[in-house]
Chain A
Amino acid sequence: MSARADLLLGEPADRSNWTVRLRTRLQHTVPPGQALPDRQPVYVSSWIYVFGVLTLAAFVVILVTGGVLAIGGAAWWHTSGFGHFVNSLHLWSVELFFAFMVIHLWGKYWMAAWRGKRALTWMTGVVAFLGSIGTAFTGYLSQSNFDSQWIAGQAKDGLNAVGIGAYFNVLNPGQMLLWHVVLLPFVIGVLIVLHVILVRRHGVVPPIDAAEE
């Protein structure tokens, strides 16, 4: 068969071609039309369902406000009124992020949302939650004020006690700031992307004891 006929039939032209294999794999990640669907199952009919997207929206606000803080630099907000306001935006978007995420978690638990092969969706969510706590922690360490001093002094004892402090030095603001701004947001971002892809892949979990068609 010609390569063109192969493509028309949807058959991969060359299974040893890494590009083809990656493309095929990506295309099959989510059922066709389900990446950005314009229809949803009728059982999605409760306000509890909005807390996932609210969490995601809060994450975006966190990134944007954090980005503005980065423009001014780590100490900018101490001397600029606007900078202080942006810091306030960053703090409150974080509080909202955690509030929405936890309510989302409560909802998903009581809906047993891991059913139907959705265990990985649950697990990526939990890891994102725990990772977010760590990210917030490095944020507090990066405030360059009294709070940072105290939190660093206290937290070092917990981390040193289990050997982690030898590698992750909370008394080193240079290291903590880079973890906070670069490494951890990237990891959380990846986890969120995986989590959302999994939701689109499997669809919203049906009700417990839903009557089968």
Chain B
Amino acid sequence: MHWGVIQISVTNLVIIGVMLVLFVLALVLPFPGAHGDDTPKSPR
């Protein structure tokens, strides 16, 4: 695939695209966390 001086294989483009999607999903998807067992401080 060509775009100006940029030339990239479809496979590489898919890989990079999937990585970006994973990154965004990692940021926005809610993370399941049990809040009930929070303690104020960890033992040092």
Chain A interface (Cβ within 8 Å of chain B)?
A: 31, 33, 37, 39, 41-42, 45-48, 50-51, 95, 99, 102-103, 106-107, 213
Contacts and interface: CB of A to CB of B under 8 A. Distances in A.
Contacts of B38: 42
A32 to B, nearest CB: 8
Nearest to B39: A39
Contacts of A102: 19
A42 B18 CA distance: 29
A89 B23 CA distance: 24
A46 B23 CA distance: 11
A39 B33 CA distance: 13
A95 B15 contact: yes
Contact of A107 (B18, B23, B31, B39): B23
B43 A47 contact: no
26 contacts: A31-B44, A33-B43, A39-B39, A41-B42, A42-B33, A42-B38, A45-B31, A46-B27, A46-B31, A47-B25, A47-B29, A48-B26, A48-B27, A50-B26, A95-B15, A99-B15, A99-B18, A99-B19, A99-B22, A103-B22, A103-B23, A103-B26, A106-B23, A107-B23, A107-B26, A213-B41
A33 B42 CA distance: 10
A45 B26 contact: no
A48 B27 CA distance: 6
Contacts of B26: 46-48, 50-51, 103, 107
Interface of B: 15, 18-19, 22-23, 25-27, 29, 31, 33, 35, 38-39, 41-44
Contacts of A47: 25-27, 29, 31
A47 B22 CA distance: 10
A213 B41 CA distance: 10
B15 A103 contact: no
A103 B31 contact: no
A46 B30 CA distance: 7
A22 to B, nearest CB: 24
Given A47-B29, A47-B31, 8 more contacts: A31-B44, A41-B42, A50-B26, A99-B15, A99-B19, A102-B19, A103-B26, A107-B23
